[in-house]
Amino acid sequence: MSAPFVEAKNLRRVFDVSKPWLNRVLEGGHLEYLKAVDGVTFDIRKGETFALVGESGSGKTTAARMVVGLLPPSSGSVLIDGISMTDPRQAPARRKLRRRIQMIFQDPYASLNPRFRVDAIISEPIRAFDLVQGEREIQTRVGELLSLVGLHPDDRLKYPHEFSGGQRQRIAIARALASEAEFIVCDEPTSALDVSVQAQILNLMRDLQDKFGLTYMFISHNLAVVRHMASRVGVMYLGRIVEIAEGKELFARPRMPYTKMLLGAVPDLAMSGRQRIPVKGEIPNPINPPPGCAFNPRCPLAFDLCRKQAPELIDGVACHAVNTAPVPA
Amino acid sequence: MTEPVLSVRNLQVEFASRRGTLRAIDGVSFDIAKGEVLGVVGESGAGKSVTGLAVIGLIDPPGRIAGGEICLSGLRIDNLPAEEMRRVRGKRIGMIFQDPLTSLNPLYRVGEQIIETIRTHLNLSETAARRRAIDLLAEVGIPAPEKRIDGYPHEFSGGMRQRVVIALAICAEPELIIADEPTTALDVSVQAQIISLIKRLGRDHGTAVMLVTHDMGVIAETSDRVAVMYAGRVAEIGPVQDVVRNPLHPYAKGLMGAIPTLAGDDKRLVQIPGSMPRLSAIPRGCSFNPRCAFAFDRCRVERPEPLPRGAQSVACHLYDSVPAESAA
């Protein structure tokens, strides 16, 4: 098998959330750190959709931002096509790599500049990377990109406010494709949209993947959407990946108790009337997480070891109960 | 049959704007029986929240109820004077909003807010009200309520805050609770807890619940009946199992197919072309006709009225030509 396209190794990101120095001196208190992402390792193969799923505060967006280089990791490394996103010695190679990586954000109302016309928004990457020469050719290319995402080429003369949320997300996708990107990081691309529009965008993203062989990293809290899109899924809880598996496998046979609880909690149309596993508690404060496995206070299988030592990710699951004793599937 | 707790007949809500009057709700009718949970589902702009606000009498100018009737246990409430409506609100109708942080006052302890509400509506002493507040907090599943009652809203997590809001909504034993997107701001694991709480309260107290949400999954888990709204009208209404498993209206069909699920194969999602029309440009005839694959001439001129089909009722011309099945 070929080397993975994206390799994230032991990514860690710590935010300093202490009070200001003067307040600490006058009022007491000490330095406080929030471990948003705490040792996350995964790789993404070319042409697949890798999803990170988790509840709010689990660190999925922070992980995505580190992968594209919007946020420097506190430690750990990201390699994309063999080029490090952090190593200063590889800066020239990284500059060439940038074109191939794009991001689609959650809120299409915030991610498009309201004072730019659509043609300026979409042609910006084309001009920045000097991909097409000549004004007329650039406009033709913008028109092509707009038809590709299901808009009209003449829409390039409008401003973002003239479009609905779904149409704006299409513009954001067209912008991501403008640089002929191969790897697109999508951070909650449909959570601001209505279901019928969400279906349009998800279908569009899958069609484009088939057409151009795109690689997606897909961030979402919506398990049903992730199941629909992802070939592989990592489940995050308080900054760590607790389970990582092929999409089908994860949803058919979840192993980690947290994944089971999460899947059980999703209100679902198809299983209307089924018994759900009662959910206990809430995500603890990430500034002061429980010792050992962060999930132990809510876990039905927790035992002594879970309260002392954080489990390693072994064979796709980070759970003492699963790794030490064989749990019948 | 006994009288429904809430009966809405041909409700119309209009908003005056510079460019003319916009009709947000156009002829909505439904009933909610005692102990029943009615889910109201639809996409943004369908008019689900405005319907909820109209029932509780919180439509502010330039909006106004332009027609129709709203009856609470037989009492007509849509034309009550403001002062009388204020007494109905909170006492006989409880309200749960989407964002629990904005529906609690950050400067008062949660206990003070609950006690104030209790004493406004019930004739209780300070100590009795406090005891009742603690009971309520315990009932909605807040651990150590006798301590937490003196906490401020910011000391509670999102899920716990929503529990406080629910305690506020039920403190005067209302006949009807209107829950507007009560779980949208919450994570799935917390959402599941809040859903089962709302369900249990409805069952234990015999409270009628109008649950407004865009999440069909939440409706499927919680509601007894569901109304699918589109562009200010009810497209389809019926028992939740029927509407989910066998939707009749083309919009409801599309909506069910557009939702990715945790079961079944991951085939392409059903795609409804286009998006909800703006209020200023509602199409003539059936408002869904430009997006509908089955639209024919009549849909473009004549507005469909609700037609009974078994236990369901559907506003679509497709079902007019076919003879209605005999009621089961």
pLDDT tens digits, A170-220: 999 999 999 999 999 999 998 888 888 899 999 999 999 999 999 999 999
Task: Give residue A273's Cα distance to chain centre.
Answer: 32
Query: Is A194 close to B192, i.e. CB distance below 8 A?
Result: no
pLDDT digits 0-9 by tens, A6-22: 999 999 999 888 888 88
Query: What are the residue ranges spanned by the domains of chain A?
Result: 6-100+182-239
Confirm or reject CATH 3.40.640.10 for domain B6-92+206-326, answering yes or no.
no
Interchain contact A293–B (C-beta under 8 A): no
B313: tokens are 């009722």
pTM of the model: 0.83
Query: Tell me, what's the pLDDT at B70?
Result: 93
B252 touches chain A (CB under 8 A): no
The pLDDT score that the predictor gives to residue A329 is: 45
Residue B44 is nearest to which of A194, A262, A273, comparing CB atoms?
A194
Answer yes or no: do A56 and B261 touch at CB < 8 A. Answer: no
To the nearest whole angstrom, how far is the Cα of B119 from the nearest Cα of chain A?
32
Residues B61, B65, B70: CA angle, nearest 5 degrees: 135
Q: Given a cut of 60, is residue A39 above it in pLDDT?
A: yes
User: Testing the interface with B: which of A151, A258, A268 to mutate, by most B Cβ within 10 A?
Assistant: A268
Partner-chain residue, chosen from A228, A268, A271, that has the shortest CB–CB distance to B266: A228
Residue A278 binned pLDDT confidence (cut-offs 50, 70, 90): low
Q: Residue A15, class by beta-carbon neighbours within 10 Å (0-12 exposed, 13-18 middle, 19+ buried)?
A: middle
Chain A residues closer than 8 Å to B229 by CB: none
Gap from B260 CA to chain A (nearest CA, Å): 5
Out of A197, A268, A282, closest to residue B217 by CB: A268
- pLDDT of the residue at B156: 87
Do the chains contact at A283 and B187, CB–CB below 8 Å? yes
pLDDT in tens, chain B (328 residues): 578 899 999 999 999 888 888 889 999 999 999 989 999 998 888 888 899 999 988 888 888 999 899 999 988 998 888 888 888 888 899 999 887 778 899 999 999 999 999 998 888 999 999 999 999 999 888 888 998 999 999 888 888 888 899 999 988 889 999 999 888 878 888 888 888 888 888 888 889 999 998 888 888 888 999 999 999 999 999 999 899 889 999 999 998 888 888 776 667 888 888 888 888 888 888 999 999 989 888 999 999 999 998 889 999 998 886 544 433 3
CATH class as words, domain A6-100+182-239:
alpha beta
What is the structure's pLDDT at A89? 87
Q: Determine contact: A197 vs chain B, CB below 8 A.
A: yes
Interface test with A, best of B160, B187, B211 (most A CBs within 10 A): B187
pLDDT of res. B321? 67
- pLDDT of A33 reads 86
Interface membership of B240 toward A (CB under 8 Å): yes
Q: What is the pLDDT of residue A276?
A: 62
Residues 156-185 of A with CB under 8 A from B: 164, 166-167
Do A55 and B188 make contact, defined as CB atoms within 8 angstroms? yes
Q: Do A267 and B255 touch (CB under 8 A)?
A: no
Name chain B contacts of A276, Cβ cutoff 8 Å: 192, 196, 221
B-chain CB neighbours of A261 within 8 Å are 189
Q: Is the CB of residue B214 less than 8 Å away from at least one CB of chain A?
A: yes
How much is the pLDDT for A187?
92
Nearest chain B CA: its distance from A137 CA (Å) = 30
How many interchain CB pairs under 8 A, A with B? Answer: 127
Provide, as residue numbers in chain B, all residues whose Cβ is less than 8 Å from the Cβ of A262: 188-189
For residue A223, list chain B residues with Cβ-Cβ distance below 8 A. Answer: 188, 262
SS3 labels along chain A = CCCCCEEEEEEEEEEECCCCHHHHHHHCCCCCEEEEEEEEEEEECCCCEEEEECCCCCCHHHHHHHHHCCCCCCEEEEEECCEECCCHHHHHHHHHHHCCEEEECCCCCCCCCCCCCHHHHHHHHHHHCCCCCCHHHHHHHHHHHHHHCCCCHHHHHCCHHHCCHHHHHHHHHHHHHHCCCCEEEEECCCCCCCHHHHHHHHHHHHHHHHHHCCEEEEEECCHHHHHHHCCEEEEEECCEEEEEEEHHHHHHCCCCHHHHHHHHHCCCCCCCCCCCCCCCCCCCCCCCCCCCCCCHHHCCCCCHHHHHCCCCCECCECCHHHHHCCCCC
Residue A328 has pLDDT above 90, yes or no: no
| Structure confidence at residue B266 (pLDDT) | 66
Q: Judge if the upstream peptide bond of residue B250 is cis by omega within 30 degrees of 0.
A: no
Q: Judge whether residue A314 has pLDDT over 70.
A: yes
Contact assignment for B189 to A265 by CB distance below 8 Å: yes
pLDDT at A185: 94
CA distance B258 to chain A (A): 5
Per-residue model confidence (pLDDT) at position A242: 93
Residues of A within 8 A of B160 (CB-CB) are: 282
Does B187 contact A at CB distance below 8 Å? Answer: yes
A262 in B contact zone (CB under 8 Å): yes
Model confidence at A87: pLDDT above 90? no
Is B191 in CB contact (< 8 Å) with chain A? Answer: yes
Most B CBs within 10 Å, among A152, A162, A188, A196, to test the B interface: A196
Token pair 């156009």 in the structure block, residue: B26
Dump pLDDT digits (tens) for A97-156.
Answer: 888 999 999 888 889 999 999 999 999 999 998 898 989 999 999 999 999 998 999 899
Q: pLDDT value at position A273?
A: 54
Residue B149 near residue B110 (C-beta atoms within 8 A): yes
Residue B185, pLDDT score: 78
Compute the average pLDDT of residues A209-238.
92
